[in-house]
Amino acid sequence: MSEVNVGKRKEKCENCTKQCNKKQSEDGTTSEKERDKINGQVQEGSQLLLSACLSCDGCLSEEESLKISQQSLEEVERVLALNKRCDVSKHKVLVASVCPQSLPFFAVKFGLDFTEAAQKLCSFLKSLGVRYVFDTTLAAGFSILESQKEFIQRFRRRHHDSNALPMFTSSCPGWIRYSERVLGSLVTPHICTARSPQQIMGCLVKDYFSKQQKLSPEKVYHVLVAPCFDKKFEAVREEFYNSLLETRDVDCVLTSGEIFYLMEQRKVSVEELDSVPLDHVLGEAGDLTPVRHEGRGSEGFLEHIFKHAAKELFGLEVHEITYKTLRNRDFQEVTLERDGETLLQFAAIYGFRNIQTLVHRMRKGRVPYQLVEVLSCPGGCLSGRGQAESDVAGRVDKNLVQQMEEVYSSLPVCLPEVNPALHTLYQDWLQGQDSPQASTLLHTQYRNESQVHTQPPHMQW
């Protein structure tokens, strides 16, 4: 993280970090009783914001702390500085991938539409020394298609596999980190194995694109621009590191706010920047028409899987999805019915307060949903704290988020099923949709770490 963001986060988390470190130093480890408290059964004494806990470094190992420290503007500038020296052996080709949820932030900040903002951002990144700039919509398409396929498989084996359903989406690293470190075997077998758009983009860049450019993967330095700090944790996961080549799929994650801070630091005026179109992984020339997936700003896994499952499992075409709001705007459900019978029941659950409700129901065996789209940020990815945090630490700038939602929803929807680039890559890169290579590069596994890592004793949702 940049110095300015580290400073803000330390100020915000100072009290809870002290409580956490004090408890850990006194007890050494977390008992089973305390773990029950974490999971929401008991809440007494000092309280700790779970969202703050996931972002602080109180329970990180030295190795993890070192890896996270390398997810910074300073590290990118170090690589850029090496490229300016004469030692060609240390030169790297810089590639930047930008999440579609980050681009509305720049559109609002620049006062431009989505396409113009993307082109200005591309121009700025290339002025720094970045050679190629992509967006991750293509990678998200892979993630959606693989999630659809996995849901159908899980649904069909639901009667003889107790872990098949509900299936939880896997694109949110805050949710994944919490599931592995706190919830453990209660949840991890239910998490979809499809990699997130970020990590599929990492494979596209380091495996497919590097080969097309006749570059060794370790000679490519891949930066990803995301709306969320937790994406930094995802990038340093062990399974996304190639020990043979000593390279990661994503070398560095920078938040939208960090990039904008760099622009302010360098006094870059948007008017001074040229309009440079984003590059295409397939190397195709010409401007790319910006598109989005369905849903309200978080790639729309629920909507895509719901419509696909309705057609694949029941032969029903669903054109419009109607959400039913339950507890709040961030706890909604969708139901497919036929002749009074409920065929499918999905839910979108955002924010840790709502996640707590989900976990409580799961402990009691009262989860009626076959799929749950889970995101740790209230409001979804556009509200990620790497771009939507206001000047008041810990608060979301609601006006900014509303403007970003308007920008994002103005884009045309593209269904991954009909995206020709995805079909080309499935054949040319992965040797088919059901190939061993597709399974290896587009999927991962989640582990139960709750018995390994100590956890703060009390959490406020």
List pLDDT tens digits, range 227-279: 988 898 888 888 888 776 678 899 999 999 999 999 999 999 999 999 999 99
Residues 396 and 305 in one domain: yes
Helices (H), 157-250: 173-178, 197-203, 210-212, 231-235
User: Which CATH number do you get for residue 372?
Assistant: 3.40.950.10
Choose one of 233, 259, 291: the last residue of a domain.
291
Residues 244 and 178 in one domain: no
Residue with tokens 């499935």: 426
Residues 269 and 379 in one domain: no
Mean pLDDT of 374-393: 84
In a domain, 116, yes or no: yes
User: How do beta strands 331-338 and 93-98 pair?
Assistant: unpaired
Residues 280 and 406 in one domain: no
Q: Please check the confidence at residue 461 and state whether its pLDDT lies above 70.
A: no
Residues 117 and 221 in one domain: yes
- Residue 321 amino acid letter: I
In a domain, 79, yes or no: yes
Mean pLDDT of 63-81: 81
In a domain, 405, yes or no: yes
In a domain, 331, yes or no: yes
CA–CA distance, 372 with 349 (Å, rounded to integer): 7
**pLDDT reported for residue 84:** 85
Contact 422, 144 (CB under 8 A): no
Residues 133 and 155 in one domain: no
In a domain, 226, yes or no: yes
Strand partners of residue 457: none
CA–CA distance, 373 with 349 (Å, rounded to integer): 6
Determine which helix (DSSP H) or strand (DSSP E) holds 93, and give its type and residue range.
Answer: strand 93-98
In a domain, 54, yes or no: no
pTM of model > 0.95: no
Residue 18 confidence class, pLDDT cut points 50, 70, 90: very low
Assigned token pair, 8: 């803000």
Q: Please check the confidence at residue 92 and state whether its pLDDT lies above 80.
A: yes
List pLDDT tens digits, range 321-337: 889 988 788 999 999 99
In a domain, 459, yes or no: no
Q: How many independent structural domains does the chain possess?
A: 2
Residues 342 and 287 in one domain: no
Q: Please check the confidence at residue 34 and state whether its pLDDT lies above 60.
A: no
User: How do beta strands 252-255 and 220-226 pair?
Assistant: parallel
Residues 92 and 169 in one domain: no
* Residue 262 domain boundaries: 69-139+196-291
Choose one of 262, 291, 320: the last residue of a domain.
291
Residues 169 and 210 in one domain: no
- Residue 98 amino acid letter: V
Determine phi and psi for 250, rounding to 5 degrees: -125, 115
Mean pLDDT of 128-156: 95
Give percent above pLDDT 90 in the chain: 49
Residues 115 and 172 in one domain: no
**pLDDT reported for residue 12:** 40
Residues 255 and 404 in one domain: no
Residues 335 and 379 in one domain: yes
CA–CA distance, 362 with 373 (Å, rounded to integer): 15
Choose one of 225, 258, 291: the last residue of a domain.
291
